[in-house]
Amino acid sequence: MTNINLSDRARNTPPSPIRKLAHLAAKAKKSGIHVYHLNIGQPDIESPREFFEGLRLYQQKVVAYEQSQGNENLCIAWSKYINKTLQIHTAPEQFLITMGASEALVFLFMTCCDPGDEIIIFDPTYANYLGFASIAGVQLVPVLSDMKNNFALPARSEIEKKITNRTRAILVCSPNNPTGTVCSREELRFLFDLCEEHNLFLISDETYREFVYDDHKPLSILHLEPNSKRVIVVDSLSKRFSLCGARIGCLLTCNEEVIAATLKIAQARLAAPTIDQFAAAHMLEHIQEDYLEGVRSEFLLRRNALYDALKEIPDVVIHKPQGAFYTVVQLPVNNAEDFASFLLSQFSYKKTTTFIAPAAGFYMQNSQGIQKARFAYVLNKGDIELAIEALAVGLKQYKGQ
């Protein structure tokens, strides 16, 4: 097995910037240091008991394949849930259940694009979009969103400059990973109108839809354009219900052609997991109405704790994220990856250290992220405060080296 080449696709797929330094964290832990994980969006909130109830109710003697489009009851329950919580109308047939939002995005890239076609995204971006694009042979075209402007959508002229005859879609993620920025109704309208003008799909990644703070209310592109065939929503139970490991997501559109075409791709992978879908359907039917309100308040507390602690550190530049549970922070260092490595490999404070994700990997234009890091506020308030205390001490030591 020598001299056998791997594909360009495999070689060129970037590694996850979130996991890049994981080996250093593992080493630190082995040496007895407690590592505060602010690097990864894995919430520590308990999954709803209704999900576990659903698991216990699964009584079949054979774990058979589910339908490729998804468990019928789950499509019904998800549609009802969205209709009720967002006060809009969707129908179960508009759903295609996938293994997380991740699979929905891979499928959509393949459904909307031929290899070499382009999708416009906003930089910094959810890093795994790069992996999905690589799998599908799609070219992501970044338009920079500026930290000075709270990572708001770029001007129309900046986006239009990037539209070519290969552009097939604009992909927007609001609330945003990694920046925590939330699009206003006007911004979504502007993106939709742009797609309309240039005949593009608008793919709206709403994985964090309910995680909005201050004056924001959960907003879907379907509030604005419930009947447009160019609109496709990507949704997920992973973050909203702390069900990252259940691997349940969906795509949602009133475009029957998109559903039918994507279903052919979905049939080739047979189905999403049967038991998780069964339990998720039960959960969505029975979940307490105030479950998400409790979760949202908890993340608001954490957001405030992170923001308040970081703004006390001299020369750290931070914007106040309005949604999701991330923010991108500019650090007073030349290279945030070097600093993040230092925290994990050469530093500890009271036998603890802090793991942050260098932001370069979230930028297609890597140099924009060199001095920045993404912070995920997925730990409780006390731990966030301790994590930032350790980081502040680490920063002093690092700069004094």
Ligand X SMILES: Cc1ncc(COP(=O)(O)O)c(C=O)c1O
Task: Choose which of 204, 220, 228, 238 interacts with ligand X (CB under 6 A).
Answer: 238
- By the rule CB under 6 A, 41 interacts with ligand X: yes
Q: Which is nearer to ligand X, 207 or 353 (CB)?
A: 207
What are residue 135's phi and psi, to 5 degrees? -60, -40
- By the rule CB under 6 A, 249 interacts with ligand X: yes
Q: Which is nearer to ligand X, 205 or 337 (CB)?
A: 205
CB of 393 to ligand X, least distance (A): 29
- By the rule CB under 6 A, 278 interacts with ligand X: no
CA distance 134 to 115: 10
Strand partners, 36: 354
The half-sphere exposure of 99 on its side-chain side, counting CA atoms within 13 A, is 13
Counting beta carbons within 10 angstroms of the beta carbon of residue 60, is it exposed (0 to 12), middle (13 to 18) or buried (19 or more)? exposed
How many binding residues for ligand X (CB under 6 A)?
Answer: 13
At 30, the amino acid letter reads: K
Q: Which is nearer to ligand X, 252 or 309 (CB)?
A: 252
CB of 177 to ligand X, least distance (A): 4
At 302, the amino acid letter reads: R
Task: Choose which of 36, 51, 78, 126 interacts with ligand X (CB under 6 A).
Answer: 126
CB of 234 to ligand X, least distance (A): 7
Query: H or E segment at 317?
Result: strand 317-318
The DSSP letter of residue 78 is H
Which of positions 88-107 make contact with ligand X (CB under 6 A)? 100-102
The half-sphere exposure of 218 on its side-chain side, counting CA atoms within 13 A, is 18
Q: Which is nearer to ligand X, 123 or 205 (CB)?
A: 205
Q: Which is nearer to ligand X, 106 or 390 (CB)?
A: 106
Bin 322: left if φ > 0, else alpha if -120 < ψ < 50, else beta: alpha
- By the rule CB under 6 A, 177 interacts with ligand X: yes
Spatial CB neighbours of 127, under 8 Å, sequence gap ≥ 6: 14, 16, 17, 18, 178, 361, 362
Stretch that binds ligand X, among 4-12, 79-87, 236-244, 359-367 (CB under 6 A): 236-244
- By the rule CB under 6 A, 78 interacts with ligand X: no
CB of 243 to ligand X, least distance (A): 8
- By the rule CB under 6 A, 39 interacts with ligand X: no
Which of positions 341-360 make contact with ligand X (CB under 6 A)? none
Which of positions 198-227 make contact with ligand X (CB under 6 A)? 205, 207
CB of 249 to ligand X, least distance (A): 4
- By the rule CB under 6 A, 167 interacts with ligand X: no
Residue nearest ligand X, CB atom distance: 100
Per-residue CA distances from 347 to 31, 274, 314 (Å) = 12, 45, 20
CA distance 32 to 359: 27
Q: Which is nearer to ligand X, 144 or 244 (CB)?
A: 244
Task: Choose which of 244, 261, 287, 301 interacts with ligand X (CB under 6 A).
Answer: 244
Q: Which is nearer to ligand X, 102 or 255 (CB)?
A: 102
CB of 238 to ligand X, least distance (A): 3
E strands of 152-228, at which residues? 167-173, 201-205
CB of 77 to ligand X, least distance (A): 17
CB of 312 to ligand X, least distance (A): 28
- By the rule CB under 6 A, 173 interacts with ligand X: yes
CB of 44 to ligand X, least distance (A): 15
Would you say 308 and 316 are in contact if contact means Cβ atoms under 8 Å apart? no
Give ∠ CA 371-374-379 in degrees, rounded to 5.
140
CA distance 162 to 129: 18
* Concatenated DSSP letters of 13-29: SPPPTTTTTHHHHHHHH
CA distance 119 to 114: 11
- By the rule CB under 6 A, 266 interacts with ligand X: no
Q: Which is nearer to ligand X, 343 or 378 (CB)?
A: 378
Residues that bind ligand X (CB under 6 A): 41, 100-102, 126, 173, 177, 205, 207, 236, 238, 244, 249
